[in-house]
Every structure is written in C-alpha cells, then in structure tokens.
Amino acid sequence: MIRALIVDDEAPARAKLRLWLAKHADVEIAGEHADGLAAAQAIAAAAPDVVFLDIQMPGISGLELAAQLEPQYAPLLVFVTAYDAHALAAFDLNAVDYLLKPFEEERLRRALERIRERLRSPPRVSAAVEVARSQVGVSDRLLVPMGNGLRLIDSLAIHLLEADDNYVHVHTADQQYLVRRTLRDLLLQLGEQRFVQIHKSVAVNIAEIEEIAPLFKGDYQLRLRSGKELRLSRRYTDALFARTGR
C-alpha cells in the first residue's frame, strides 16, 4: 500500500484528491491537513510514502515545509500548485512530480505511476527537498518540536547546535530543542554563512561569538554573548578565523 498524505489549505482541493486517490486500491489516505505545521507533525508521526503538498499555504508554505525535511528520510513529494513557475522549476529539477491546478484525474493517475516506480527502486534521496531548498534559499525559520506539536523559531535566535548521534540539540537564549536531523544537514539548511563549526559535533551562530581566547597547542576558547564557554578545536580554527576576520 502507498500511504498518502494530503496537504492543502483549500477544502475542495483536499476533497478532490481524496476522492480520486480512493479509486486506487493500492493507495491508503494517511491523513489530510490544511496547514504546514500540522502536516510536518503528521510526516514525522505517520511516515507517509508520499505527500501531495500545496505550495501556497498560510503560516508556512509547502516549499518552506519541504525545505525543512532531511533529504535522506523525506517521503516522496508531489507539489500541488496554481503557479507555473514553481511547478516547472520542480519538474525540471527532477522532483517526483507536480500537479498544476486545476488538474484532471488522468494527470493524477500519471503522477501515481511515477510514485509507484520510485517506491519500487529504493533507496533514494529526495530530489524534491533539494528543489524546495533551491527555491527557498537559506531558511530564516526552523521547525522544532514543542510539547506534542511543532513550532517555528527564528534561525537568528539560535545560539548553538550540538550533534547527538542522529539528533541535534538546538539552543536559543532560553530554550533547548531536540531535532531529529544531522548537524551537516541543518547547517546546509540554515546557511553556513551564519553558522560555523567549532568541533565535529558543535556549531555556533557567528553573531553570538563575543571573544576568542588562545589556550594551548593551537586550541582556543570561545565565549558567546550568553556567557557560555566552548572549546574551539584546532581542526576548525582556520575556517572560523577566515569567517570572523580574526
């Protein structure tokens, strides 16, 4: 069975997709949502095979949501849009598919055929996530878990990123969030011009660095504006100095 998630802020659009998908015996509707935050939570909880994702939504757009996913583990994405520019960019860059509103049932059938082909030949890395990131650019916001849901935080409010196996501790001035991502992927999304690694498992917001003091044998100690002190590994010294002009 193909577990499909429908995400669109327009109820008639969701109803049409639900009706047409139900005609396919190998498709199971894993849920439907009207906003990006609820959809992100469902993707994490339900692990659908494919998401039919509207690009234009309030709060967080479909492209912004897609850009938050880790390519290695993301479901297949079918962008749904009324805007040709977005659709053609996604198609040309080899996203799984797109549906241009208003679309016909035959067009959905062809999209499902492509989905079946992709699912028969794993493993895969989601090209659609890369498409979204190329459209969105550096993310100004990050989805983080909060209680039983998710919230968006300003990426500039992040002081520190600490890797912990397949998770990253995201530190702000007064909160800490645990995100199931790799440090490398988070840095790619948030912008390596804003953050710099100081250790293989630690990266800091360059704007939060207050002082860099030498220690011994080429190591340094960083003090952030919050007062937190961190060790700068020799391996990352040159890159940090080049980025900060010190």
State yes or no: pLDDT of 245 exceeds 70. no
Look at residues 245, 203, 205, 209 and name the one whose alpha carbon lies nearest to residue 225. 209
Same domain for 147 and 132? no
Residues forming beta bridges with residue 160, ordered by sequence position? 171, 204
Q: How far apart are CA 30 and CA 68, in angstroms?
A: 20
Beta strand ranges found along the chain (DSSP E) = 2-7, 27-33, 50-54, 76-81, 97-100, 141-146, 149-154, 160-164, 167-171, 176-179, 195-199, 202-205, 209-214, 220-224, 229-232
Same domain for 117 and 165? no
Provide the CATH number for the domain around residue 76.
3.40.50.2300
Give me the phi and psi of 198, to 5 degrees please.
Answer: -120, -5
Domain boundary among 136, 169, 191: 136
Same domain for 101 and 191? no
Same domain for 72 and 21? yes
State yes or no: pLDDT of 123 exceeds 80. no
Look at residues 32, 41, 35, 77 and name the one whose alpha carbon lies nearest to residue 57. 35
**pLDDT of amino acid 19:** 97
**pLDDT of amino acid 138:** 85
Tens digits of residue pLDDT in 144-176: 988 888 889 999 999 999 999 889 999 999 899
What residues make up the domain containing 150? 141-244
Same domain for 20 and 127? yes
State yes or no: pLDDT of 65 exceeds 90. yes
Same domain for 129 and 160? no
Tens digits of residue pLDDT in 6-47: 999 999 999 999 999 999 999 999 999 999 989 999 998 888
Same domain for 177 and 231? yes
Domain boundary among 136, 167, 186: 136
- How far is C-alpha 204 from the geometric centre of its chain's CA atoms? 19
Provide the CATH number for the domain around residue 149.
2.40.50.1020
Q: How many structural domains comprise the chain?
A: 2
One-letter amino acid identity for 192? E
pLDDT band, very low/low/confident/very high, at 201 (cuts 50, 70, 90): very high
Record the pTM.
Answer: 0.83
Q: How far apart are CA 179 and CA 153, in angstroms?
A: 12
Domain boundary among 112, 136, 160: 136
